[in-house]
Structure 1
Amino acid sequence: MNPRVTASVWGLLVTAVQIGLPLALRDRLPDPMATHWTVGDRPDGSMSFTGDVLAVTLFWVVPWIVALVTAVEGRTLSRRQGRMVWWGGLFGMGVFAVGMNAGIVMANLDVADWTRARLGGLHPLVVVVLACGVAALAGYLGRGERDAAPNGHREPPRLRLRAGERAVWVGHVSNPWLVLATAVAGGGLVVLLALYLVGVVQGGTVAGALPGLLVVLVAGLLTSTVSVRVSDGRVVIGLGPLRVPARRIPLSRISSAWSEDRYPSQVSGWGIRGLPGGATIMLRGGQCLVVEYRSGGRLAVSVDDAARGASLINALLAERVEP
């Protein structure tokens, strides 16, 4: 089963349902439509018909595109845990998106006004349970063969600096799907504001979708790329295209460094994972620069050419302790 073909067919099918279902019943739906309910099953939020179709479509299309880019990139699918998460997320998210869209449509069907729409109390629970079940089954069926036994961390090559010689190493990496998600969020924000200005969507739609788009946009700008600079005296880790914020680690706090293969499935996903003293900045699976502190903690950063950066750190550390 080819992941790219399967993801493409499944994604197009779900997208067609997300758009086609409300359009097929357009004459029987109010405008605006109820889109959010309180615990008492009374609607407390609404969107225009166009805004709802746009929202439910983007709710699915964004993670679908992320899954496609991940499949093309290939590293995630090279490991068993990654395959389980990928297949489970792809099908589970699709079922969840269709289920929630169907619930909104059916609740609004043939009502005179959105305030009269009623969503069955068990519907969200049924959708969540069904989506989780499909995700578990898809992850199990797509798990593939067991991973090869890990080789442990790779010792960096030895590097000797001549007396008085100074060296600088700069490593950089970007995550294509995070860059894409950032671009999609930015484009969605522009489209949403444009539709609001021309009167296609209402202010409530903008208020409901704006926070989510801004969160994705800001988070993507901060975490879609990372750079690491090793020079005499410190290691500087910069996030985002402007390298801000940046974390500066004095060499006096470091005991050693090495290169090690790590994957998102091992650290619970992408982004900044873990806690101080045992954190990982994960932008893509594979080679990471691991820094061990004198206090015993560790920090890992996914970055290209990590072995060379680790060798320079160790060389600078050895130079500091030489008589």
Structure 2
Amino acid sequence: MAIAGTGIRNRPLTCLLLLLPAALSGATYALLAGDLPEMTATHWSSTYPDGFTRTAVFVPVCIGLTVVGAITGMFSLKLRNKPALLMMLLFAGGLLAWSAAGVFVSSAVSTALAETPETAVLGGMMVLLIACALLGIAPLWASGIYQQYTRQSNEDRQQRIDAAQSVQRTDAVEAFAEPQPDSRQAEFKQTMAAPWWMWMLCLVLFATLIVAVVLPFLAGGSHDGSLASVILPVALSAAVCVLMLGVIWIRVSIIGDRFRVSSALLGIPMRTIKITDIESVTSEKIEPMMWGGWGWRIIPGGSAIVMKEHEGLVFDLKNKKRFAVTIPDSRQAANVLNARMG
């Protein structure tokens, strides 16, 4: 979705917020270079550190990440005609730069102030870490792109709702003009498959699962220890594989007073909505990035089952939640639901 006349507000401030982490990290290193030992404390699980990294590696990696984040964010500002990609890259760049700066400054200062890396105490540096993580969204917010994108998205959605309602009113008039089957009694069933790359991802996960199970036996030796060591990854792979298989091919049905989405491959029910729980339902074009991506998504204020950029149903429920699902003939489904609601 392109936003007409998209502009970067507070561009100097946005650029400053992207470059500041690299400057902060560089200044910290310049001040503490003579006090940093060979090893730097980089991980704490309690009062004292339990993880260390060679300073010669830690310094260039952290400062390099702040530079990469700044470059990513600066590059994103050129994508004015692709606001969704702009927001994603700007957010990723800002978060990377500020997170790397927070880790570097807190670890370097704590190590330099201690007698040895083993006695370094994070202490108040934890506040700095949290502050840097929060500042990661500052460039995106300062640019104003998120605010413009949200406002334009709401306007576009309202236009689609108005258009869909106009079409539904026209269909209702035509239904009175000539005899039509009673939509309140009709049943609606359709299936929709995910794009090819999601099927390929399932195959890769399934192959990984097989290798994880078979590899301990091919390695020889005692199977007891090998099996114990792969139980967790095998279980996780199996769970992810089942979830992926469940969502790559869905079936949508309207039977009686219920709208149901289930897995066409495994038969697992994914979402059931009673007609009485629906405030409104419209046929709209569903864009994955507007609903958190592809697959079965849970987002603030609602959820969605998105196969690809395609037409689908968007529900506004009486509990103030929203739900969306991509299906081939969403207008027919919306007419059936609205007839039963009416």
For normalisation by structure 1, the TM-score amounts to 0.48
Indicate the structure (1 or 2) with the bigger Cα radius of gyration: 2
Relative contact order, higher structure (CA 8 A, sep 6+): 1
For normalisation by structure 2, the TM-score amounts to 0.46
